[in-house]
Amino acid sequence: MTTAIGRKTILGFPRQRKPTPSLLRYRQKWGWIFITPWLIGFSLFYFLPMVASFGFSLISFNLATPDQIEFIGAANWRRAFVDDPEVLASFIKTFRFSIITLPAGMIFAIVVALLMNSRYVKGTTLMRTMFYAPVMIPGVAATLIWSGVLNEQTGWVNMLLQNIFGIQAIGVEGIRWLQNPQLIYYTYTVMGFWGVGNAMIIILAGLQGVPTELYEAAEIDGASYWQRLFSITLPMISPVIFYNLIIGVIGLMQYFLVPYVLNGGDGSPQGATRFIAVWFYKQSFSFFNMGYGATIAWLIFLVGIVLTIALFGSARHWVYYSGSED
């Protein structure tokens, strides 16, 4: 049994003295010293460019005629909201793609992490490395690899379908994975599975932090695997899922690399891939309308903020924190 001994101890441990004002000032000084490099980097590379881009949204500035700068107030904003229907159309296309790829990518990452955490799967160390390795490949190179894999004539996916499953027998010569507007979002989703390594590692860390006592108690009570999965595993890793969801939403609002590498950002096929980030790039660096491009960039930022706030608002209904009172 632990008892208090003397005035300077509590439960056998020395009583911690309250920091003096001079000690508090000393700690605050060193705290600011350590955070100063981050503050400088944030100010130079994030905050000041954001302020400058907002200033650009209030002027007419074309890179082709840099000497003809004119303050036009909210004209760029009016153009984005009223005069340019492609802005709303691009947001709708982005949301349609997100509805498909975000749940599919999240479920795929969770399934892979569960397999990598299972004691019944052999060689998980090697398999974890293999799943994560594609993340190290540059995005441009990975996209070009997929463009070859999914090629209508020479891609090995269609070759397998033709030679093994005999799709020619039912009159299908070759599936146009990258040219069919009905398939393109699903194709991009499968291509996104290539980079599942980041989400898989984070979810795997969350799985390994789930107390084993909960599983043992559930097994004693006769709970099945699926009952343990939905009653213990998923609630316990819900903060990790929530984090990946936020990162996924932000990434999809900036989805640009794949459609740009595959077709130069022209929206092919039939404008289905003219996402909002692609439209921002076209306005800024193809048409050189830097002022209007800055306005679209701010719209992307504001929509991302609204979606993030909405997700945080919903989190209290489905995200479980073990240290909370709820």
Tokens of 99: 């509805």
Nearest Cα to Cα of residue 80 among 293, 273, 286: 293
Q: Is 206 helix (H, G, I), strand (E, B) or coil?
A: helix
Which domain, by its residues, includes 298? 89-313
Tens of pLDDT, residue by residue, the chain (326 residues): 444 444 455 455 556 667 788 888 888 999 999 999 999 999 999 999 999 999 999 999 988 888 889 999 999 999 999 999 999 999 999 999 999 999 999 999 999 999 999 988 888 889 999 999 999 999 999 999 999 999 888 888 888 887 776 665 555 567 889 999 999 999 999 999 998 999 999 999 999 999 999 999 999 999 999 999 999 999 999 999 999 999 999 999 999 999 999 988 899 999 999 999 999 999 999 999 999 999 999 999 999 999 999 999 999 999 998 765 55
Q: Is residue 277 part of a domain?
A: yes
Residue 323: inside a domain, yes or no?
no
Quickly count: other Cβ atoms within 10 Å of residue 178's Cβ. 21
CA-based end-to-end distance of the chain = 32
Q: Identify whether 166 is part of a domain.
A: yes
pLDDT given at position 153: 83
In a domain, 37, yes or no: no
CATH number for the domain that contains residue 305: 1.10.3720.10
In a domain? residue 11? no
Q: In angstroms, how far is CA 138 from the centroid of its own chain? A: 17
Q: Is residue 289 part of a domain?
A: yes
> How is residue 140 written in tokens?
């441009």
For position 167, what pLDDT does the model report? 60
**Global confidence as pTM:** 0.86
* Cβ neighbours of residue 214 closer than 8 Å, sequence gap 6 or more: 232, 236
How many structural domains is the chain composed of?
1
Nearest to 92 by CA among 283, 275, 278, 293: 275
**Residue 79 domain-assigned?**
no
Given this model, what pLDDT does residue 152 score?
A: 85
In a domain, 30, yes or no: no
**pLDDT at residue number 157:** 87
Sign of CA pseudo-dihedral 92, 95, 96, 97: positive
What would the two tokens of residue 321 be?
Answer: 């924190």
The candidate with the shortest Cα–Cα distance to 269, out of 194, 186, 161, 195, is 186
